[in-house]
């Protein structure tokens, strides 16, 4: 499962996230966010990331030309749209697109179908003012209805304490974590980062043990074992750059 740590403003926090196993790092470029980062600082951090870690820029209702220019300057691997952007707007973005899909109010799961498959949906709490990073938990039952229709990223109040239950209930393609591993907005708590990845690793080990037991039983019955699939934000748009959580750390960009 892919893990994205969002709201990064410091190099040491990005490095701690990657060391833990994050496959994507998020930078917020919306000026109204308490986690907003300037372009040059983000560019410097991205330059220090391993090549196979995807850098994602978060934008809210900003002009497409501005989004593309920031993406080019920083060297982003994907763009996350967290406002009221339309399908036509997303088509103007020159990077793979992640689109926030609000769970709340009268939103229905089938509304996700209007977004083309090349757009990865991120499920978050409905909050027209703060646009993410609220610490509020998504309704996992409703989120699971969307996840049953297409691969999604799950956000909204994920913490080391609830992430395993959230993943078990929603079954997302990946997760997006921000406030749940912070000591202050934009400042990551490295102990909570470690606790998050420890919880995920322990859960994955348990699932692997169950799969191995099931596989052994299947082989005794003559059925082949299932082969797990792995994706990344970039692979969903045609690039195969996934790095599994817990894999050896990739070398830095040169």
What's the CA gap between 37 and 129, in Å, rounded? 19
Query: pLDDT of the chain along its 254 residues, tens only?
Result: 999 999 999 999 999 999 999 999 999 999 999 999 999 999 999 999 999 999 999 999 999 999 999 999 999 999 999 999 999 999 999 999 999 999 877 778 899 999 999 999 999 985 654 555 566 788 999 999 999 999 999 999 999 999 999 999 999 999 999 999 999 999 999 999 999 999 999 998 987 877 777 766 666 666 555 554 445 676 554 433 333 333 333 334 43
Q: pLDDT tens digits for 202-211? A: 998 987 877 7
Closest listed residue to residue 98, CA positions, set 39, 173, 149 = 173
Ranges assigned E (strand) in 128-181: 152-154, 174-177
CATH 3.20.20.70 describes domain 2-218: yes
Q: pLDDT tens digits for 164-203? A: 999 999 999 999 999 999 999 999 999 999 999 999 999 9
Q: Per this entry, what is the length of the chain?
A: 254
Catalytic residue list: 6, 124
In the chain the first and final C-alpha atoms are separated, in Å, by: 27
């Amino acid at each position: 499962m892919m893990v994205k740590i969002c709201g990064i403003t410091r190099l040491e926090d990005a490095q701690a996230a990657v060391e833990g196993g994050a496959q994507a790092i998020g930078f917020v470029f919306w000026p109204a966010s308490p986690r907003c980062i300037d372009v040059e600082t983000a560019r410097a951090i991205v330059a220090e990331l391993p090549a196979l870690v995807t850098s994602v820029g978060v934008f809210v209702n900003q002009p497409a030309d501005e989004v593309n220019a920031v993406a080019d300057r920083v060297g982003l691997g994907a763009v996350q749209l967290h406002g009221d952007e339309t399908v036509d707007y997303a088509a103007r973005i020159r990077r793979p697109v992640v689109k926030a899909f609000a769970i709340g109010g009268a939103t229905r799961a089938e509304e996700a179908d209007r977004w083309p498959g090349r757009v990865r949906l991120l499920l978050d709490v409905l909050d027209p003012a703060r646009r993410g990073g609220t610490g509020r938990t998504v309704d996992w039952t409703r989120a699971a209805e969307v996840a049953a229709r297409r691969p999604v990223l799950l956000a909204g109040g994920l913490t080391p304490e609830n992430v395993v239950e959230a993943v078990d209930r929603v079954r997302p393609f990946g997760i997006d974590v921000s406030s749940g591993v912070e000591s202050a907005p934009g400042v990551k708590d490295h102990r909570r980062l470690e606790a998050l990845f420890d919880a995920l690793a322990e859960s994955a080990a348990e699932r692997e043990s169950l799969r191995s037991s099931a596989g052994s039983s299947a082989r005794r019955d003559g059925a082949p074992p299932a082969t797990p699939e792995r994706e990344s934000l970039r692979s969903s748009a045609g690039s195969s750059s996934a790095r599994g959580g817990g894999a050896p750390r990739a070398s830095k960009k040169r």
